[in-house]
Structure 1
Amino acid sequence: MEEKKVYIIFTDTGTLFTKLIKLYTKKPLNHVSISFDKQLTNIFSFGRKRPYNPFIGGFVRERIAEGLFKKARCEIYSYSLTEVEYQQMQTKVRQIEANKELYKYNFLGLIAIMLKYKLKRKNAFFCSQFVATILHEKKGIIEKCPSQCTPQDLLAVNNLELVYKGKLILYPQQESKKMVEHDYSFGKTMIYKSPDFS
């Protein structure tokens, strides 16, 4: 069976909100996203819906050269999966995106983590909780409950392979700007032209 890879993108956008989070975590990278292709044509997370308003958030598609990512520093890792696991993760993202108006950014969940309190909320995610939920489609990859996962917990996942480190906008595997974004709508076949916590 063909091996597939997902790509986990850890970033520091340098915003005031990110700096406040960094005061708590003492870590440089405090936002995390996920993509299903090496070119990062489609990047998914929970974050700001409007670049300069940290209080309006939810499910977002992020793009390398837009918004807060223009100046972001990053580390990008790949994780190998079976075809079945890969499809299960994609399906989970499609399901959330299809109902994105029902989902909120989980500010209360962030506060709960800081207070070391276990809080489960329906239809609410912060970035690392969302990515952990998607990765959780592969059994055993993460021991923690997704609602308790921080970006640092995801960085500690076994068998992550570093793909790139540096300015996100300089990521060498980007698609040409002439390439059209692939359809990632619920219920439609996804085809890849291969080869804002912020």
Structure 2
Amino acid sequence: MEKTSVYIVLSRPRTVVSDLIYFVTKDTYTHAAISFDRELRTMYSFGRKYPHNPFYGRFKKEAFDTGIYKGIDHLPGAVIELAVTQEQYDKAWELLSEFLTHPEKYKYNYLGLIDHLHERPVCRENRFVCSEFVYYLLHNSGILDLGVSPNLVRPQTFLQAEGNIVFEGNLKHASPVYRSQTDLFTNSVLVVE
């Protein structure tokens, strides 16, 4: 059976919302995205539509040189590689394609942040926070089962996944836009300060 990989990208952007989440949870990482390519050229998540407006969230494509990441030099984070079958990869991509085709159908789950603080397992149709979305794709494609309600998954929770942390440090160095010719992904963890 053919194997391939998907990548969970965890980060802690220095935004008001991220700082608030950190203040409440003390989690190292406050944002999660998923990428289907080793180079992390395109990531998918839920977050703010406009970089300077934290009150309008949605499904979005992300890249390290756009949005809230543009113009910052240091982005603490980690990349987890999950080995998957081609069938799982195709199913996850099929689920993602629905978001790409009908992005207006999906909204940011603001109430989910409150539910999460109170540990209420409440999922709202077509509404997601970043980690809930990543888990939705991974769980419904048979890649990952963390045994909790999707709305209770935090970015930090993904560190429990059976995958390899292939990068930890400044995510700006993990991006092909910023990194040198050297491939940073090896079989061991690479820590870049």
TM-score higher than 0.5 here? yes
Q: Matches of 1:116 and 1:170 in 2, distance apart?
A: 35
Percent identical among aligned pairs is: 33
**Matched length:** 174
Aligned to 1:162: 165
Q: Matches of 1:102 and 1:161 in 2, distance apart?
A: 33
The partner residue of 2:76 within 73, 94, 100 is 73
Instruction: Extract unaligned runs of 5+ from structure 2.
Output: 179-193
Q: Is the 8 A contact 2:88 2:143 kept in 1?
A: no
Amino acid at match of 2:148: K
SS of equivalent to 1:87: helix
The partner residue of 2:148 within 141, 144, 151 is 144
Q: Matches of 1:99 and 1:122 in 2, distance apart?
A: 14
Instruction: Extract unaligned runs of 5+ from structure 1.
Output: 177-198
CA drift at 1:99: 1.4
SS of equivalent to 1:76: strand
1:135-182 Cα shifts (integer Å, max 9, x gaps): 00116532112122111222211x21011112222116x269xxxxxx
Superposed CA RMSD: 1.6
Q: Matches of 1:133 and 1:40 in 2, distance apart?
A: 20
Query: Mapping of 1:20-169 within 5 angstroms?
Result: 20-70=20-70, 71=72, 72-136=75-139, 137-138=141-142, 141-157=145-161, 159-169=162-172
Greater RCO (CA < 8 Å, at least 6 residues apart): 1
Q: Matches of 1:123 and 1:13 in 2, distance apart?
A: 25
Q: Matches of 2:67 and 2:6 in 1, distance apart?
A: 23
